[in-house]
């Protein structure tokens, strides 16, 4: 089986995580999947986010190892070895590596983003990446929020160009933007 890269985009509660989970299960077959978590370090004192993480945890098999990504996505992928991976979600990782200073988007794109996209492309097993599509709404008034929205859109473009499949989730329904050939 080829090692496809699948990008699943969607808004809040669009069904993107559920779809990503189902897609990686299909691609992995009987093999356990390494779950690359990006929200674990962000929950201190946030009961609502802790509840979301717990629901995600309960939705996947107990034998799937969870790897906390932190800021070093290439290292997390290396820890996964040759296991299929589900990265959920790219948005929180990008927020962690971009930080508060988004004055130089190119530095983020050419540094940690380029390294992460290269690591994802080199991963020897199927990879499903789930990310929030945040660019469909109104233009934010805050310059930092606008810069992050722009950064996220550019990252999605680069990842979609490298992906074998791209799906946009809307109201729980997948819209296939780039079918696997």
pTM recorded for the entire structure: 0.91
How far CA 82 is from CA of 4, 9, 56, 69, 122, in Å, comes to: 13, 24, 23, 16, 11
Q: Among the options 56, 123, 156, 167, which is catalytic?
A: 56
Segment 78-91, tens digit of pLDDT: 999 999 999 999 99
- Correct CATH for 5-178 of 3.40.190.10, 2.40.50.140, 3.40.50.300, 3.40.50.2000: 3.40.50.300
Cα 14 to its chain centre, rounded Å, is 14
- Strand pairing of 5-10 and 34-37? unpaired
Tell me, yes or no, if 56 is annotated catalytic: yes
Q: Domain ranges for the chain, please list them.
A: 5-178
Give residue-wise pLDDT tens across range 52-86: 777 767 777 778 899 999 899 999 999 999 999 99
């Amino acid at each position: 089986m080829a090692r496809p890269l699948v990008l699943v985009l969607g808004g809040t509660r669009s069904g993107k995580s559920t779809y990503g989970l189902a897609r990686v299960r299909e691609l992995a077959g009987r093999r356990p999947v390494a779950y690359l978590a990006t929200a674990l370090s962000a929950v201190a004192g946030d009961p609502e986010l802790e509840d979301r993480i717990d629901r995600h945890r309960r939705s996947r098999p107990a034998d799937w190892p969870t790897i906390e990504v932190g800021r070093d996505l290439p290292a997390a992928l290396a820890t996964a070895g040759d296991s299929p991976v589900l990265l959920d979600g790219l948005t929180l990782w990008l927020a962690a590596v971009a930080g508060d200073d988004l004055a130089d988007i190119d530095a983020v794109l050419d540094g940690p983003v380029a390294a992460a996209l290269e690591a994802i492309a080199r991963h020897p097993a199927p990879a499903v990446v789930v990310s929030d599509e945040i660019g469909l709404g109104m233009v934010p008034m805050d310059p930092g929020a606008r810069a992050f929205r722009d950064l996220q859109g550019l990252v999605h473009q680069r990842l979609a160009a490298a992906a074998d499949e791209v799906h946009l989730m809307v109201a729980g329904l997948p819209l296939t933007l780039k079918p696997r050939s």
